[in-house]
Amino acid sequence: MAVIKMEVDDDLVKEVGLTSVKEYIEGQLSYLKLHYLSKKIGQALKESKIDYEKELEKVRKAAWKEYQEKYLKDIL
């Protein structure tokens, strides 16, 4: 893991606090990591030649059927 040293405006630190600045930056880095990973996943899906929309529809239907059997059996 890399360490980044950066300057932060003193007025900002006084206004919101060092902890808030650190938490904000950590949140932005988490978002950036998720964005990067989502791009990698998307690319891997394209390269896999799997029809993920078809697979997702099968799973969705199976989950809906399971839900109906478990929670709606007396209603339907």
Q: What is the pLDDT of residues 32-56, one digit of tens each?
A: 999 999 999 989 988 998 898 999 9
- Count of domains observed in the chain: 1
In a domain, 3, yes or no: no
In a domain, 1, yes or no: no
In a domain, 5, yes or no: no
Residues 33-72: b if buried by 16+ CB within 10 A, e if exposed: eeeeeeeeeeeeeeeeeeeeeeeeeeeeeeeeeeeeeeee
Asked whether residue 76 carries a pLDDT value surpassing 80, the answer given is no
**C-alpha to C-alpha distance for 29 and 23, rounded to whole angstroms:** 10
In a domain, 63, yes or no: yes
In a domain, 26, yes or no: yes
Q: Dihedral through CA 7, CA 12, CA 18, CA 24, nearest 10?
A: -90
In a domain, 55, yes or no: yes
Domain that residue 36 falls in: 10-71
- Is pTM beyond 0.85 here? no
